[in-house]
Structure formats: C-alpha cells, structure tokens
C-alpha cells in the first residue's frame, strides 16, 4: 500500500557503480514522475571524503542522462551524504544521529545495502544495535532493508544467513532483490497466464511438450568481474536466482490473490517440486561450458574449471507439469543479450498434415521476450494461397514499445517504488531462497561429473547443449 510519509532512502556503498548506474537514475525517474512521497530523501553513505555538495557533484559526473532533465536540480535538493566507515558501533550511532538531523519529521527508512555480500549481516547487526531498525507500533514509520544477490553461496550458508538476519529484523522488513522480477514481461507473465481464457487452459502437461528459458549474455568479464565470477560461475550467478525465479512464475498455480504472501506461496511450491538431480544421469541433464580465453581474464585462475555456460534439463514433479521438461540455459559471450521463455505445445493426437512424430511439425509455441525487446510471439501454421496444400509458418507479435508508445520503466525503478510502498510481491522470501539453493546444490554436485566444454566467443555455447533435447523436441532459441 502506498504511503504519504516521507522516506529516507539510505544507500550503503553510495560511491559504487550500482548507485550511479541503476539506483539514482531509478529514484530520479520515480521522483519526476510523481511516484515518490513528498519530502523523500536520498542519503548516500560511503567512506569517500565528501560532503553533500561533493556527493552531488559525483552524481552529476557519473549518473549520465538524468542530469540533463530540468528537475535534476530539484531532485538534488533532497540528496545528502554521510561520510563514515561503518566499521564500529559508534559509526552507526553517528549515522542514526545524522539521519535524524536530516529528516523533515517522522520518516520511513529504506536501507539499501549496495555492499559486498559478506557485509550484509554485520551491517544489519550494527543497525539493529543502534536502533535503526526499530519500528514504532503497527502504523508508525517503517524500517526496511534491501539486499542484492548473491544471498549465500549454497543452501547451508543461505540458511544460516536467513536465520541470523531474521533474528535481527522481521521477514516483512527484509527485501531480497532480484531485478529480473521488476521487468515488465516477467510481471506480465501472471496477467498473460491467468487473465486470458485463450491460454490458461493450455498451460499444463496435457498440451505443453517442453518449456525452455534462456538468459543469454553477450558480455564476459568486463569491469573487473573475473575475480568474483571465478568463485561463483554461471550456476550460482544466474541460474540459482534469475532463471529459477522466471521458472517459478511461468510454472506456478494461480494465487488466491495478488497479495505478496499468496504469490510467494505458489512460487515456493514450484521450487519445492523441482526434481533433485541426485541419482540421475548427469550427462543427460547437465551441460557446462567455458568460453575460450576465459582463463586469461584478469582475476581468473589460469587452471579454472568454472563454468561460464550452464544448461540443464529439469522437471517439476507436480500435477500440472509432471513429465514436461524445463530446459534452462545461461551463458557468457553468446552472440546476443536476451532473455526469453518459449512454451512449446504438443502436436494434436491425429493430424491430417503429417504424423505427430515428424520433427519439423511443431508449429505452436508462445515466446515471452523479457529483454531487450519486451513482447510476446505466438507461432502457428497457415495454408499458402494457391493450388495444392502448401503449409507455411506464421507469427503474431506483440511489442510493449509499439503498443504503448512509451519507454518501459527500468526494473530497479519499479522495485524501489515497491520497497518504499511496502509491497513484497516481487521480492524473494527466505523459503524461496532456500528451495532454489536446494535444487542448485544438487545440480552443482552432479555437474562435476560432466565434461567442461570449450566454446568460442560469440557462439551459442557448446554443441553438446543441444543434446539435452529429445529427438523431436527442437533446439535452443537463438535470440
């Protein structure tokens, strides 16, 4: 529910790239469109020797296009800076005093931890000790904490982190952010599925033959990411969070309402039903690869076995999806940056135009294009005009940009507005995190039994990736 109480958005790590590239542009866009409560402030917190004006000058040099907007100067009037190392309890008490001094009165506070994951728990513990997370009654000002991924490195560490954080603040105060859930097509998945009688009855094992979900990246280890990435790999970096979150929304049952609890309850059921890879033939369910030249990247072990490509054949063992393969794929240095979901439908049990086992006869599919060109495609067959029975493929396209004639809001903008308004529907709950790690851990344990295939930069990954498909199931989408 939206609030009229002013909000202080307090960003820890305010001198970093995420703040300038994503968070400040998102907040400014929400500000100039009137989506923020009046009096909302941005408080940057970092070690740099700046004052308010120094921080504002830094933003002017790094934020880019928003600084050209006529309301940028007005936005800067609500921007402040607190210099602190945030190493000691006294640092946090000083921060509390600075926030109180800047506040125009009673305020909600959003603490955005744009810091290293190992600092999540110490930061929250110090905030708790300094009284920064205390809330006054049911209707008093709220205190909320946003953490980025990665949330843990496996099931064990994620469970311990959850337990420790939830000992210091409530689940309703903790917002685990995955920016993929703020993308328009991801959000529209629920509307498309559950609002349209054309599609809802078909969304199950009776009619769906296969679902494939791809998060493709054209980049490699730019911006010095090699050191971090080599300790994570594609399974931890993308599959455990982005891919499984999209899968949960595509496969979930209809929630009883659009309230956060009901939506997240259904997502957890999907993740819990994912079949563990323990005991399965790893080579039939997992393909991993590494792009050529990865080991020469700065910060990467010259003998690294880290995967930059991972593909998996997964199953959801429930009534709706029993027996339907979900093929998941992500990789670095692919030819294009894109994210899509392709739902491929079965052939009719009897066809007048060829046998149901003919591999070229898979005309019906729905593709949800999540990025970069948000939209939906529906494919089907038609007869070509003229004599004879010549069948040709056809496609219906829906594009967000063409239909609505306006720019799609950045995912961070939508999610930050939701945090300020206290809406957790698009954020990840503790049991979601743990269930997604449970399945990812089973995959990572088995992928050591599979070969690490080399693939060329700007290719579609190792050829072995296509072997996850059955004989007549098709191949991976290409952009």
403 phi/psi in degrees, rounded to 5: -75, -40
Buried b (16+ CB within 10 A) or exposed e, 170-186: eeebbbbbbbbbbbbbb
Percentage of the chain exceeding pLDDT 70:
97
Each residue's pLDDT tens digit, 74-119: 999 999 999 998 889 999 999 999 999 999 889 999 999 999 999 9
- How far, rounded to the nearest angstrom, does the alpha carbon of residue 233 sit from its chain's CA centroid? 16
Each residue's pLDDT tens digit, 397-443: 999 888 887 777 889 999 999 999 999 999 999 999 999 999 999 99
Rounded Cα distance, 288 and 323, in Å: 23
Instruction: State mean pLDDT over 181-196.
Output: 90
Q: Does residue 125 have a pLDDT over 50?
A: yes
Rounded Cα distance, 263 and 1, in Å: 16
Please tell me the CATH superfamily of domain 181-408+430-468, with its number.
Dihydrodipicolinate Reductase; domain 2 (3.30.360.10)
Each residue's pLDDT tens digit, 38-78: 899 999 999 999 999 999 999 999 998 889 999 999 999 99
Average model confidence (pLDDT) across the chain: 93
Is residue 242 part of the annotated active site? The answer reads yes
Torsion of CA 186, 114, 414, 110, to 10 degrees: 130
Provide the edge-to-edge strand list for the sheet that holds 375-383: 391-399, 375-383, 365-371, 338-345, 208-216, 325-331, 309-315, 286-291, 452-455
Q: Enter the CATH code of domain 7-148.
A: 3.40.50.720
Which residue would you say has higher pLDDT here, 289 or 187? 289
In the chain, where the domains are located: 7-148, 181-408+430-468
Instruction: State mean pLDDT over 234-243.
Output: 96
State yes or no: cis peptide before 372, omega within 30 of 0: yes
- Tell me which residue of 428, 423, 331, 342 sits closest to 378, measured CA to CA: 342
- How far, rounded to the nearest angstrom, does the alpha carbon of residue 398 sit from its chain's CA centroid? 23
Q: Does residue 278 have a pLDDT over 60?
A: yes
Listed in sequence order, the DSSP H helices in 310-421 are 400-404, 411-421
Listed in sequence order, the DSSP H helices in 173-281 are 184-195, 226-234, 244-251, 260-273
Q: Which of 35, 80, 242, 285 is catalytic?
A: 242
Torsion of CA 350, 355, 356, 359, to 10 degrees: -160
Q: How confident is the model at residue 183 (pLDDT cuts 50, 70, 90)?
A: confident
**3 state SS of 406:** coil
- How far, rounded to the nearest angstrom, does the alpha carbon of residue 227 sit from its chain's CA centroid? 22
Cβ atoms < 10 Å from Cβ of 202: 15
Percentage of the chain exceeding pLDDT 90:
81
């Amino acid at each position: 529910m939206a609030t009229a109480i002013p909000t202080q958005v307090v960003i820890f790590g305010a001198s970093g790239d995420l703040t300038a590239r994503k968070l400040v542009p998102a907040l400014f866009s929400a500000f100039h469109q009137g989506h923020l409560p009046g009096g909302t402030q941005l408080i940057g917190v970092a070690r740099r020797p700046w004052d308010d004006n120094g921080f504002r000058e830094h933003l002017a040099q790094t934020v880019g296009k928003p600084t050209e907007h006529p309301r940028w100067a007005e936005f800067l009037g609500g921007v402040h800076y607190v210099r602190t190392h945030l190493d000691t309890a006294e640092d946090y008490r000083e921060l509390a005093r600075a926030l109180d001094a800047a506040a125009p009165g009673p305020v909600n506070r959003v603490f955005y931890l744009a810091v290293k994951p190992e600092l999540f728990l110490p930061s929250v513990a110090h905030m708790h000790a300094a009284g920064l997370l205390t809330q006054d009654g049911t209707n008093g000002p709220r205190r909320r904490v946003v953490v980025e991924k990665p949330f843990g490195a496996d099931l064990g560490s994620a469970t311990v982190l959850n337990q420790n954080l939830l000992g210091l603040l409530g689940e309703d105060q903790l917002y685990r952010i995955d920016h993929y859930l703020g993308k328009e097509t991801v959000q529209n998945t629920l509307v498309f599925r559950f609002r349209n009688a054309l599609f809802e009855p078909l969304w199950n094992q009776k009619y769906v033959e296969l679902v494939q979900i791809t998060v493709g990246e054209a980049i490699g280890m730019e911006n010095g990411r090699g050191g971090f990435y080599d300790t994570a790999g594609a399974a931890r970096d993308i599959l455990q969070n982005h891919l499984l979150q999209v899968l949960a929304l595509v496969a979930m049952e209809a929630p009883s309402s659009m309230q956060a609890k009901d939506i997240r309850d259904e997502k957890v059921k999907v993740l819990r039903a994912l079949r563990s890879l323990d005991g399965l033939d790893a080579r039939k369910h997992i393909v991993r690869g590494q792009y050529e030249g990865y080991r020469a990247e700065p910060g990467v072990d010259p003998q690294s076995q880290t995967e930059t490509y991972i593909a998996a054949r997964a199953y959801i063992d429930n009534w709706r999806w029993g027996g339907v393969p979900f093929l998941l794929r992500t990789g670095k240095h692919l030819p294009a940056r894109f994210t899509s979901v392709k739902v491929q439908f079965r052939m009719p049990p009897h066809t007048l135009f060829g046998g149901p086992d003919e591999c070229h006869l898979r005309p019906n599919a729905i593709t949800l294009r999540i990025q970069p060109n948000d939209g939906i495609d529906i494919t089907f067959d038609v007869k070509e005009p003229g004599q004879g029975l010549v069948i040709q493929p056809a496609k219906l396209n829906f594009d967000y940009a063409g239909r609505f004639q306006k720019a799609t809001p950045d995912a961070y903008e939508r999610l930050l507005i939701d945090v300020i308004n206290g809406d957790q529907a698009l954020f990840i709950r503790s049991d979601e995190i743990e269930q997604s790690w449970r399945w990812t851990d089973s995959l990572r344990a088995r992928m050591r039994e599979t070969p690490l295939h080399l693939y060329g930069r700007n290719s579609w990954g190792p050829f072995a990736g296509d072997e996850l498909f059955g004989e007549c199931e098709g191949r991976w989408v290409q952009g």
